[in-house]
Amino acid sequence: MNKTQLVDALAERLGDRRTAAAAVDGLLETIVDRVRSGEQVALTGFGVFEGRARAARTARNPRTGVAVAVPATTVPAFRPGAGFRAAVGSAAQSNGSAPASVVAEPATEAPVKNGKNGKAAKGGKAKEDKAGGGKGAKAKKAKSKK
């Protein structure tokens, strides 16, 4: 959902698009102004908007390897509240997806051995024999049609 869609959704509830747009713009401007001035904006049950200080550090340019001084800065951050986390977590579980705390590990296949030298083929799969329709069979069919 982008800002326009948010305004449209709020306009459905309020009945007036101009009022909804003013409310969204006013809310966002207020949050940005307060966080910029160093304050936290805490919306009980929803979350906290805040600025987080990042210390000065030395980084490296990945292309040249030269050390680069990165100055200290403040970045915006959002911490979701308990009510927001619970609402999103219960929605994720009710639609059949796994909860965020459970991470499925990717299934791995054991490499299939190629019959000739006992080594695994590229990609871990055995090569198809030429009679079975491998790349060679397609090329031969194309040549025979000409």
Q: What are phi and psi of 31, to 5 degrees?
A: -60, -45
Tell me which residues of the chain have a pLDDT lower than 70. Answer: 92, 94-146
pLDDT, one tens digit per residue, over 82-97 is 999 999 988 767 666 5
Q: Where exactly are the structural domains of the chain? A: 3-93
Report the pLDDT value the prediction gives residue 48, as an integer from 0 to 100: 97
pTM: 0.58
What pLDDT is attached to residue 141?
A: 56
Tell me how far apart the alpha carbons of residues 80 and 86 are, in angstroms, rounded to a whole number. Answer: 10
Decide: residue 35, CB within 10 A, 0-12 exposed, 13-18 middle, 19+ buried: buried
SS3 sequence of the chain: CCHHHHHHHHHHHHCCHHHHHHHHHHHHHHHHHHHHCCCCEEECCCEEEEEEEECCEEEECCCCCCEEEECCEEEEEEEECHHHHHHHHHHHHHCCCCCCCCCCCCCCCCCCECCCCCCECHHHCCCCCHHHCCHHHHHHHHHHHC
Beta strand 57-60 with 67-70 is antiparallel
CATH of domain 3-93: 4.10.520.10
Per this entry, what is the length of the chain? 146
